[in-house]
Amino acid sequence: MKAQEMNVPGYEKLAEVLQAAYEQAAGGKGHERHANGLPFHEQPMQTINREQGSIDGFLFQARKKAIEARGLPAPRAQAELLGAINYLAGAVIALDTWGAGTLPVKGELADSAQPIEPIRAPTVPELADALMEEHPHSAIAAVAATTLVVQAYELESIGAGGVQPLRSKPDLVSLPVVDPESKPWYPDDRNWIEVPEGCVACPVDHPGVMVDVLLREEREERDWYSMREAAESWWWEDVVAYTTEVPNA
């Protein structure tokens, strides 16, 4: 693939949309949130998907933005859809750059017959309200009737040294207490945070922090990273999502 002038008669409107997506990625919200001083094809989203051997993260984020665009005022909806275009562009670039042909789709995404929708239920709204009051500087990671485990990384550490292997989880009483007055929060020790009865406030206010949600359910004797199953759709502003299978912890 190579860049060239978009001047085919009759395709001017398409060129306008692609130009707008380009400008949003290069100088708008997309640039502020994802660039980290890197070119588009080397930004953290590329690194994370490449290390997972899957383009699931790109595809999920594009679909999420398309779903979120519904019901929004036209300018806001257009911005979300332009973001979806850029995520799809990232997937196309990934397939071209990695030279991997068609990458395997891992985890539950392998069942293409099943629609992939943001998980909105079962949820407990009153718990979400309480968590927001108690943790005003945190985002709600999940309010779902599933026991979850959350692990946080700094994006820079993934780019530099790869994802750390799974390890034993400490008792809940040994976990660090998040000070509401301090933000952004960085997990100095990459501690596991277990979610009792399926709800957690996860401090992800800073776009340099990635949060992985590990569903603790037996599926063919495996555990799964599956962020798409674990969050309200509005929560994804600063979080990179992907799905992949991992060995049992």
Contacts of 89 (CB under 8 A, 6+ apart): 21, 25, 40
| Domain ranges, ordered by start, for the chain | 12-105, 125-246
For residue 162, give the nearest of 52, 27, 31 by alpha carbon: 52
pLDDT at 51: 63
What is the rounded end-to-end Cα distance, in angstroms, of the chain? 41
Could you read off the pLDDT tens digit of each residue along the chain, which spans 249 residues? Answer: 566 778 889 999 999 999 999 998 888 766 776 777 788 887 777 766 666 667 777 887 788 788 878 778 888 889 989 999 998 998 888 887 765 444 444 444 344 444 433 333 233 344 444 444 443 333 333 322 222 333 332 222 232 333 333 233 323 233 333 343 333 323 333 333 333 333 333 333 322 223 333 333 333 333 333 333 333 322 332 232 222 222 232
pLDDT at 53: 64
Q: Is the overall model pTM greater than 0.85, yes or no?
A: no
User: Which two three-digit tokens encode residue 21?
Assistant: 């997506």
SS3 content of the chain, % helix, strand, coil (to 5): 45, 15, 40
CB atoms within 10 A of CB 75: 7
User: Which two three-digit tokens encode residue 108?
Assistant: 């539950």
SS3 of residue 196 by DSSP = helix
pLDDT at 49: 67
